[in-house]
Structures are given as C-alpha cells and as structure tokens.
Amino acid sequence: MTADVIARLYDEHAPALRRYLARRIGPETADDLVAETFLTAMTRHAGYDPERAPIRPWLYGIATNLLRRHLRQERRRYQATARLAARNLPGANHDGLVADRVDADARVRALAAALATLSGPDLDVLLLTSWAGLDSNEVGEAQGIPVGTVRSRLHRVRKSLRTCQGGSDAPTVD
C-alpha cells in the first residue's frame, strides 16, 4: 500500500473507527488504537484480500483485536497492581477477609435467632445488664425480683447464647 492509499483510507475510515473505539474504551485510548490500526494495516496489507471482503470490515477486525489486546493488558496491569497493594497492606488477605465476614454474618444470625427465643424476663435481665450496664442488684431492683433470680436468669441466658455461638469458647455477652 502506498502512502496515498493509506492516507485516503485513513481519511475515509478513521473517524468511524475512532467513534467505535471511543464508545468502548474512551477517546484518548481510541486515538492511539486508531493509529495502531492503520499501522497494522500498513504492515499486514499483503494479507488483505479485497476479493474476500471490503476493507472496512478488515479494519474493524484489526481495531477490535487491538482493543481486546489492550483490555487484556490493562486488566493484567490492574491485577498486578492489586496483588502488589494486597502484599503491602498488613493483613490484607481478601479471601481471609471474605471468610471472616461470612463467619461473622453467620454468628450474628445465630445470635439473633437465640435472642429471639429468650423469654421476656430473661431478655430484660440480659439487656439491662449488657446494654444499660446495671449490676445484678440494680437489675433486681428495676425488675422487682431477688438478686439470686437475676443471677440465675443471667447465667441461663449466657449459657444458652454460648451454646448458640459454638460452645463455651465463644465470647460471652456481658
């Protein structure tokens, strides 16, 4: 292909190729890919057979292949950057974080289910102790029950919650 033929093809097809690429990847990169498309067309013109297909689909094929290659390279760069960033962050283990989050969500659901099964008086004792920060004597006074009853209810509730949380090793609710 002569320079005149390439110039004519560029003038005729570059604007449409640029619009196509810009919609897919943005205007700045589209300009680079259009230039690379015509550079590739110049170097591979021997492989083009005008009898098989018009030049327009051939150019779009080149542009699409270059776009795919660019996107693959960009994705690899982002993945490499993410891997480096993950290595540099202390404790940044995505799989571990996801597993921890899933485990925490399961524990919260189990705790909510266990709390839902508590009787009104047991729940009152637990909430007055843990949320309001009252001691056993204050809870007894607030509920009009003996301190021993408060302590036995609180013991029963905590034991029930520990069981729901996976045994006695689970943290207690204070």
The verdict on residue 173 lying in a domain is: no
CATH number at residue 146: 1.10.10.10
Regarding whether 98 and 70 lie in a shared domain, the answer is no
The verdict on residue 48 lying in a domain is: yes
What is the extent of the structural domain holding 122? 94-164
- Determine the Cα–Cα distance for residues 26 and 31; give it in Å rounded to an integer: 9
What are the E-state strand segments in 53-152?
A: none
Question: What CA–CA distances, in Å, run from 86 to 10, 76, 83, 150, 151?
Answer: 44, 15, 5, 49, 48
Q: What would the mean pLDDT of 158-162 be, rounded to a whole number? A: 87
What confidence tens digit (pLDDT) does each residue in 62-111 have?
A: 898 999 899 889 888 878 877 776 666 555 555 666 677 777 777 777 77
Report percent pLDDT > 70 for the chain.
86
Give the count of domains, the chain.
Answer: 2
Stated pTM of the model: 0.48
How would residue 170 be classed by pLDDT, with cut points 50, 70 and 90? Answer: very low
Contact status, residue 136 vs residue 151, Cβ threshold 8 Å: yes
> How many residues does this entry show for the chain?
174
Q: Which residue among 39, 59, 88 closes a domain?
A: 88
